[in-house]
Amino acid sequence: MQKLLCLRAWYTHLGKRQSHFKKLKCRSDVCTFCHKYDKVFLPSLRALLSQSESKMIAHQPDYWKAIQVYWNSLKLQGKTDPDDQCSLQYVRAAIKYMRRMLAARAALPVPDVAGALGARLDFHKDEADSMAALAKANVILECCEHHFSGVKRQHGFREDKVDNLEHHCVDIQLDFMENMTTPLGPEEAQDWFWATARQSITTLGFYAHYWLNGVEHRQYFHFISDILNHDSAFAVQAFGDLLLRLGLSDQRTVLHVFADCGPHFRSYEFLWCLVEVCKSKFPTVFLHFLLERHGKGLNDGQFGLQRRWAVDYARDHVISDVSDMKGALEAGAMMTMSLDPPPSWPFISHCGVYAGCETKVCGQTR
């Protein structure tokens, strides 16, 4: 029995024998669905459409003339999809057009010419094969359309809450940051390279957006801990502490909470927190789960800033534990506020009237 190739040998074989083969390199923070749509499906769809057009033109040179005229008229009116002929709209129109052409040709008598019947059968076969292939692509495009419409609808709703938050609403988004490791310092000691000498610190970030006394507030809270459990218990405890720190009055009636679809947020424990902890403050609470790999938001930008604060602080100081990290983040926040201070009065911006962004750093060891 022939021995199966290992994965590396198989990729090497494909690279030599199949020049068109390209190994996909998908980053961990990229939606797999969207990545495969761009890198795999769209090229195959373009090739399929080109093959279908060539087959039909070989049998009838003006086969696609009517649909091209129709599609160009829609394009002039601005009624076509931005993906043009790779869109679900065009594939559906092409399938419908081919069915109509097939039915019209079947109603015509076969010319009394030698080889006409064989040519008609070959035409029908190629047409049926092309329609079957386009029908499979149509199913995939419908799934993609459902995914993209969900992403677009969700992003539109999220941006509306960021830009046009009602006065009686509170908007909170939370997310876990990738763990940072310590010690960090201006000079690395030799024993720092040992894995047992490294300590990880996890961060749970909150973005809070609300109105207070006619002024729009946007605040960031960082809960840091040396306990690495990205679980619901940590999120519940931090969420309760956040509400106490905000000190909101009873005028807020609606709470919107945005989180990714990770198991630490999509759990009965976290849902219980929203019901039990928030019921005395908010009569109505909405928990929104962002689509997988589509939850990038304001927290991620703040996490990047936090990482830069830690690196800048480590140029002159040693960060070895949670307390040092807390000091590094406080120093970085103060430096950022001094370099780019928010005004002390409400001002007009693309988000409306607000009093600037504040940063809260909370060291937490459970």
The pLDDT value recorded for residue 4 is 56
Instruction: Give the pTM.
Output: 0.73
pLDDT (tens digit per residue) in 68-122: 999 999 999 988 888 888 899 999 999 999 999 989 888 888 888 888 888 889 9
> Coil, strand, or helix at residue 245?
helix
DSSP secondary-structure letter at 30?
Answer: S
Domain ranges of the chain: 9-156, 165-363
CATH topology of domain 165-363: Nucleotidyltransferase; domain 5 (3.30.420)
- Separation between Cα atoms, residue 181 and residue 243, nearest integer Å: 29
Which tokens go with 259?
């989180």
- Separation between Cα atoms, residue 69 and residue 83, nearest integer Å: 18
Extract the residue ranges of the chain whose pLDDT is less than 50.
1-2, 26, 344-366
The pLDDT value recorded for residue 323 is 86
User: 347-349 and 352-363: which strand pairing?
Assistant: antiparallel
The pLDDT value recorded for residue 98 is 92
